[in-house]
Structure 1
């Protein structure tokens, strides 16, 4: 099937997946961080204090995702999407109205759980369950919602915040979520056929692992070391992007514009990697996952002029596209689709844990006076070491024939 034929034949489910990842932006770090300076000023918080608050809220959301995520194995996806999008919209309203630092912790917890956690989880679980031979393509299309949001939302937020205030920007987000809710629910109300066990299954049968079995697999944890690295580093850097902008002497408007380049490169990365994963399998592509992120950290550490912002964000976009497409295909390829919701929620919770630890750790290091360039060099070295580890892990996975 040609790419265009594939898109047309599966447009209903692909659009639903894309809308879910697009709207997950309201719970993603890149969007919440746009309010970071205003939130710190409103509640008199330092970089480290706000980073720790964000970390606690995100860690709690990660712990909650491990059991909330199983709901997609029990209830229809359109039912779960109604509940999650309703909660996400209400939390956007609460962020715009909030005057309490204690309530801020709860709001960020909810945004991270419903936005970054469940919206992404619903989309990728659907793609992993409904597609097999062309799973890489399906995931790459569905995850284009991430870069589209990353390119649009920062520019809109900056414009709305400059015109009528940052709180009103959150109200606008709530309106968008509520407006899209009926459409997403309708698109997901008809599960794609064929699915598990029918003609779209791969030629080689995959063992259907339970979550308990996955948790006893040592290779799962070695893979997870690599999987959690992009959210750890990317979230840490983007969450503290106002600090880097001030440190480099860049304008916030310039950096917001670099988000558009990041989004464009991310889409190109997704569209390129999807067919590659379908042809060579996710397990063979796994060792190369951290290379773009290593390049991004290296560039940010040693190049401080304005063009560096765009080159850095381009490599971050390549990393985001690589990671999103690979992770959407890897878990069903390794562990099957029968318990995909439970397995993905476990892996997703680890990624959310990492995205929580990153901003908190970097914020504390900033408060302690640790040079930011030194932190970036450390991140680049970490990516290089883990790339070697993932090469060894990929070989072991191939040897066990799964």
Structure 2
């Protein structure tokens, strides 16, 4: 941990920018928006199915547009791109506060997913991967800590705000805080950072371009397709499991309160896994660590499939968190290691898009399996073997210290 403290002391402005950007992006994450589902449905008279459809449309649309607009971070000044993302999140809060019609709700959800889940984390992690080389893993881990911190703090804040001023008022507060807290703080931190954030990224250098590859090169690389199931496996599985947690509670005879208490274990493990993974990436490379990312998740689904009792929930949540915690910094560092940094924004935007789309598909797929009356044993033992297949494939993908030629 001394290496972390020394690194943070030396590079705190840019690291703090990454952390607060990812923390603010939590306002567009499912774990935060889920607290508003019931009051929104009651206020607008929406069925669960109709609300879920609006949410899925918003998520899929944002995922597709991230692929188009995320690459602009390679061509626009960082301050300008980050400011645009923040303005978009501000508009999202305003639209949500004024959403008296389902179409306005759809627009608000889209802006939340596009700017919160999409652009702000994309901006933070692209910046960490681009401007840090030797300490890239630690930088990505520190910035990504904004997610577990948000998982602990923001649900409590959401419940308190909804109770005090209602769900519409709380979104107005979020919009206001983005303007008066996030944007000024973000601009000040970037001003303190020892890099030029007012100009276009320094990727036009001939040598940088020579050592870098783009999105098209990545899609032509067979190693990418062998690694893709591992990269997307964690978000896909965890989203499906959490959204369909009612089925798991019934199958395992767990109370909702018991599972909710286990989220403390999830949040702490998530954070620790990120920090440890950052050290491992800097020591061994993301290409090495990638080979082991799905091991905890595979263990988690087999635990869920074959073990019974309340005692199963804590190790299950811990194993889930280990994969999610390690997956974020590995995914952030991998593309810079293999394909360079000149077109990193374009590559990361494609991966963000694929991740968002996968998280929109998994609840539907799990729902179909549940509707077909499959048991937890059948569903999770089957997914466990799929994860084992992904683990085998990734062993033949990127080799340590291997870059795109």
- For normalisation by structure 2, the TM-score amounts to 0.87
Q: Which residue of 2 aligns with 1:183?
A: 185
In the alignment, does 2:5 pair up with 1:4?
A: yes
Tell me which residue corresponds to 2:213: 209
Name the structure 1 match of 2:132.
131
Match of 2:391 in 1: 387
Cα deviation 1:247-287 (Å, max 9, x = unaligned)? 65555454444333212111111111111111111111111
Q: Distance in 2 between matches of 1:8 and 1:173?
A: 30
1:335 aligned partner? 339
Q: How far off its partner does 1:222 sit? A: 2.3
1:316 paired to 2:317: no
Aligned to 2:239: 235
SS of the aligned residue for 2:100 comes to coil
Following superposition, which runs of at least 4 residues in structure 1 exceed 6 angstroms of deviation?
A: 194-197, 399-402
Distance 1:368 1:218, change over 3 A: same
Q: CA RMSD for the aligned pairs?
A: 2.9
Change (3 A) 1:373 1:67: same
Aligned to 1:275: 279
Question: How far off its partner does 1:83 sit?
Answer: 1.5
Partner residue in 2 for 1:154:
155
**TM-aligned CA deviation for residue 166 of structure 1:** 4.0
Rounded to whole Å, the distance in 2 between the matches of 1:379 and 1:253 is: 26
* Equivalent position SS for 2:395: helix
- The 3 A distance-change label for structure 1 pair 304 and 24 is farther
Query: Does residue 1:288 correspond to 2:292, yes or no?
Result: yes
Cα distance, 1:162 vs. partner? 4.9
- SS at structure 2 position matched to 1:2: helix
Q: Deviations over 1:36-68 (max 9, x none)?
A: 344455544345x54444333212111101121
How far, CA to CA, are the matches of 2:176 and 2:143 in structure 1? Answer: 22
Unaligned runs of 5+ in 1: none
Q: What TM-score comes out, normalization by structure 1 length?
A: 0.88
Greater shift after overlay, 266-275 or 374-383? 374-383
Q: In the aligned structure 1, how far is the partner of 2:373 from the partner of 2:169?
A: 35
Contact conserved, 2:339 with 2:403, CA < 8 A, in 1? no
- Distance change >3 Å, CA 148–CA 304, structure 1 → 2: farther
Q: Which runs of 5+ in 2 are unaligned?
A: none
Query: How many angstroms apart in 1 are the aligned matches of 2:77 and 2:272?
Result: 32
Q: How many residues align?
A: 395
Q: Deviations over 1:91-114 (max 9, x none)?
A: 133334423333333322221111
Residue pairs, 1:88-103, within 5 angstroms: 88-103=89-104
Pairwise CA distance, 1:72: 0.9
Structure-1 residue corresponding to 2:363:
359
Question: Compared with structure 1, are the counterparts of its residues 101 and 366 closer, same or farther at alpha carbon in structure 2 (3 Å cutoff)?
Answer: farther
CA distance in 2 between counterparts of 1:150 and 1:99 reads 28
CA distance, structure 2, for counterparts of residue 264 and residue 177 of structure 1: 26
Cα contact 1:77–1:189 (8 A) shared by 2: no
* 1:26 paired residue number: 27
